[in-house]
A and B are shown apart, each in its own frame.
Chain A
Amino acid sequence: MIALLRRDLALAIRAGGGFGLGLAFFLILCILVPFGVGPDSGTLAKIAPGILWVGALLACLLSLDRIFQLDFEDGTLDLLATAPLPLEAVATTKALAHWITTGLPLTLAAAPLGQLLNLPAAAMPALVLGLALGTPALSVIGTFGAALTVGLKRGGLLISLLVLPLYMPTLLFGADAARRGAEGLETTTPLLLMTGISAASLALLPFATAAALRMNLR
């Protein structure tokens, strides 16, 4: 497992890997929205928490399709499936690698990007904490979606379709926490609920992911 994690991280960091690009996408989205919506800082502040969460979610989404796809296309996945590693471990490792390369940098970048969108300072703690607790769920759920669509050419957009509904609860609680933070309300309840989702996904979804992989390889 550690070998696999190390390899995935190495691949992400190498030329053409995905590291930092999810982050770049997030950055770009946060720049785009004001262009689309207009520069009025009052409006921006109002929608900032929601946009930041939607942005984090999309940045995750964009990097999902290749979690297994590349390994499938060049035959590595077949080889991994016949290796002594259980597929559940492969699924967990892949999700972890995805989080390290995507969720973690997003969480760290959220604070400065919030500035760009005039996010009220009061909303910051709830936003960052929410991302830290919620992005693991995004990675695990996304890995499941990727396992379902592995082997389909241009699975990328199909994953989005499958995974977005699953992302909904995380998004709702996360954005709600950040909005409440902005309004000075207490944020414990949504954050706790979200932590619950993350923990449950982490514990259970790898089994579903492994099952989906097995069916797809058949």
Chain B
Amino acid sequence: MSEEAAPDGLELPVEELPGGLRAAVEAILMVADRPVTDEQVAAALDRPAGQVNAVLVDLQREYDGYTGSGSQGAEHSVPRGFELRNIAGGWRIFSRKHFASVVADFVLDGQSARLSQAALETLAVIAYRQPVSRARVSAIRGVNVDSVVRTLLQRGLVVELETDPETGAVLYGTTALFLERLGLGSVDGLPRIAPHLPGLESLGEYDETTY
């Protein structure tokens, strides 16, 4: 193990924290909102990719119920309700496949076939202001829009376009599915609403910077 001193910001080397490197990798896997590669995890932990890969494979086995090399002892154990999958080079935690029906019940509970007013309004802002960050949409609508944007993402009506080079914020835009629903060929086909909005740009800027 060619471990060097602590990486940036971290006071202790992860090996000295409860759970060690293994738990550090788990922490990343649990909250990463997209698949992560060996290299990304290795970079964040400042450890060699090979070492990190070994931990990932080991975690995968442990979640599946093989604890041979894990920290829990050498026996066969019960699989967890989640699994670690490596798809196209990236690792991601999913709910375990054979619980799909109960998970589906949970996911579909309370889902509506219609968009809420809040979702419609948020979609309208994104459509006319794209590419736009959540913070800015929030500022325009005057409420937090995180969960509504998630709904729109799930519905495939909006998509993450890019990352704002300056702020690092994710910028959203509408999708082909959105245009399809509206029966439009392109975003340019959206009816103009410009006349009302001379001072809007500066308003948006202002709101964004006030928090």
Partners in one complex: no
Q: Which residues of A contact B (CB under 8 A)?
A: none
**B residues bordering A, Cβ < 8 Å?**
none
